[in-house]
Structure 1
Amino acid sequence: MKKTILAVAIPALFAASAQAATVYDADGVTAEVYGRMQFEIQDEGGENSKVDGIGSARMGFKAKSEIASGINALARGEWQVNAENSDGDDEQLAARHVYAGFEFDEGGTVVFGQTDTAFYQAVAATDIFNKYGYEAFDIIESGRQEGQVVYNGEFGGFYVGASYQFRDDNFKLGAGNPDAGFPSVKTDRKLDNSYAATIGYNFDFGLGVYGGYHAEDFEVGDKKNMALSASYSLNDLYLAAVYVKSDLSDIKWSDAGGVVHEPEELTGYDIVASYDINAVSLYTGYAFQEAEGKLAGVSGKADTAKAFKLGAQYKFNSNMKAWAEYLNDGLEGADDKWNIAVQYNF
């Protein structure tokens, strides 16, 4: 779960895992390694669906060294690999975060490489599911991107983030929960550039409010995205909601059935709630998205996401956890899904 990300935006950028092990610490240089192993059993629904068992592993490292008083150099690399060798899976190894940069004691961080855009912080409030989630943000929030310059700064309770992405001839679009396997989807779009900015404030009484904007310029069109979010924490209770909107120009995509859509506008909202009872976490959420424009060759409106989710998680200790999650898909002709998993973090 990532529900603390808004309260610790700057530490979260670099502190990849609470279980990270320091492997070197001398002369002002520190290096840490971290990772996880996971096995999940799932049913993705469908007329010919079957129950699958899927394994994956994640490995990362981070390093920091002092350049001058109040200035540190940063580096991070993180990859995920599937345990599967199934036919048609052409991306067994996927890079998640690969960057280097600078940390300023009084001025935040600047990194160069692949990581989340600044827009992610505007929608992060509802990113609490292990497997599901993100249905309201499909196509709108682009996921982790390469070739970026990203700034994150936190000053008291105030947060500010900005990012710029250079040209990408092999643009990949993040779809679905960014922690669920390999969410990036290859597109035939060439990105000229994009820029994003997010501001927010975390109050002392548990309320956090954020707003973000992300403009993406493609060779064949452009996409302008905005998001507003609010979250509230009170002891073991957590509540959050996000509203998103995207204006598209000459952007097309094909659905799973090969039908071409050319929407002019996407709007959506995501609502989540969670409650912790000792080692048990119970959480739920509802995501909705609507598209307006030319859909399957016909102008009009159509629902593109109506997902109700339930989840329960148990933490055996600080390293080991297990969960069960269920998704009820309210779209016509769609099937429900479920997922059971165990995960070890180090």
Structure 2
Amino acid sequence: MKKLFLAVAVSTMAAGSVNAATIYEKDGFVYKLNGDFQVQLRKKTGNDTSEYVDFDDLELKNYVSYDLNNDMKAFGRLDFDLKDHANGKDVNKPIEEAYLGIQYGATSFSFGKQNFASDEFGVEEAYEVPLEDDQFAAVGTDGDDTLRVDIELDNVYIAASYELEAKDKTGSTAIAGEFIDLFVSTEITGLTLAAAYQQHSPLAGESLDTWGLSAGYDFGIFGLAADYSVTDDGNTDQETTLYNVAATFDVASTTGVAIGMQNQEPDGSDDVTAWYANVTYKFPTQKNVSVFAEVADTDKDNADMGFLAGMRVKF
């Protein structure tokens, strides 16, 4: 997920209203629909890779809510993403998110198939990151049995989630195990600060503890941000670190440029450094229609530069 580091993260309770088309509204009931379609011509970084057409997003996001009065609201979300089907993968689970919840004032509680709180972390601005987004993404940031609380105050956003160590419908125990995630961010006069923590307890072995810090500043037409995340593997007593540095530039009202660098270093192994640069053009009459291009590379042995170019339509 491409993250926006210069704004406090969008919470679960607000997600239904961002860039959404209101399809129906009557007597306290609202139905909104989002769409995000992105197709790329891509060549991955690596040794002797080939060009191919990649369906990065083919999402339809359905959001419903009922006004319960007294500053309360019931809401639900059902999101479909067909990119794996379009990319020819053998999958039978097109549902990306499916959850219900209750909002009271600035606080919401939701449960179902959804992202963990740690998914809000990160500052990378790549369309396709050469490495992982961050160490939270490397471990896992979504589940099928997730309980989540979001609190959105004036300048502070807090999220917490718990992934149950549950059994699936066939009775087998989930391989992923248990996750506990926390995220908090604040914005003060253009400066955004964030921190996250995750404890992953697999069914076998010791837990993996991941934490991260990030900071970004909006200078107006220029933005600069960095994050640092660490995973401590209790099974091996080794750490893996990953940091991102990203900068964005508004070169025109319709055109933005982003550049970034990543470095990932596991204990006992050589670190890997990567970089990327991209440009995005949004059509002035329809800002939800854009075209983009990106180049990226790493310092791995025999790794060739990768590139992509594509188009995105969202609503």
Q: TM-score, normalised by structure 1?
A: 0.80
Partner of 2:63: 62
1:241-256 aligned within 5 A? 241-250=226-235
Question: By how many angstroms is 1:79 displaced?
Answer: 1.5
Query: Which of 307, 321, 340 is the aligned partner of 2:274?
Result: 307
Give the match for residue 191 of structure 2.
207
Query: What is the alpha-carbon distance in structure 1 between the residues aligned to residue 43 and residue 27 of structure 2?
Result: 51
Preserved contact between residue 140 and residue 245 of structure 1 (Cα < 8 Å): no
Identity of aligned residues (%): 19
Report the Cα distance in structure 1 between the residues aligned to 2:233 and 2:163, rounded to whole angstroms.
18
Q: Which residues in structure 2 correspond to 1:1-346 (within 5 Å)?
A: 2-3=3-4, 6-10=7-11, 13-15=14-16, 17-18=18-19, 20-55=20-55, 57-82=58-83, 89-91=89-91, 94-105=94-105, 107-121=106-120, 123-124=121-122, 126-132=123-129, 135=132, 137-138=134-135, 140-168=138-166, 190-203=175-188, 205-221=189-205, 222-250=207-235, 264-276=238-250, 277-292=252-267, 300-303=268-271, 305-316=272-283, 317-346=286-315
Please give the root-mean-square deviation of Cα atoms over the aligned residues, in Å.
2.5
Letter in 2 for 1:310: A
CA drift of 1:157 comes to 1.1
User: How many residue pairs were aligned?
Assistant: 304
Aligned to 1:256: none
1:169 touches 1:190 (CA, 8 Å); kept in 2? no
User: Which of structures 1 and 2 has the larger relative contact order (alpha carbons within 8 angstroms, sep 6+)?
Assistant: 2
Q: Secondary structure at the match of 1:119?
A: helix
- Report the alpha carbon displacement of residue 22 of structure 1 after superposing the two structures with TM: 1.1
The offset of 1:241, in angstroms, is 0.6
Measured against aligned partners, the alpha-carbon deviations of 1:70-96 in whole angstroms (never above 9, x if no partner) come to 110011111211386666x21275332
What is the letter of the counterpart of residue 116 of structure 2?
A: T
TM-score, normalised to structure 2, is: 0.87
AA in 2 matched with 1:266? T
- CA shift, 1:143, in A, is 2.5
- 1:114–1:279 Cα change, 3 Å: same
Using the alignment, how far apart are the partners of 2:208 and 2:126 within structure 1? Answer: 27
Q: Specify the SS of the correspondent of 2:146.
A: strand
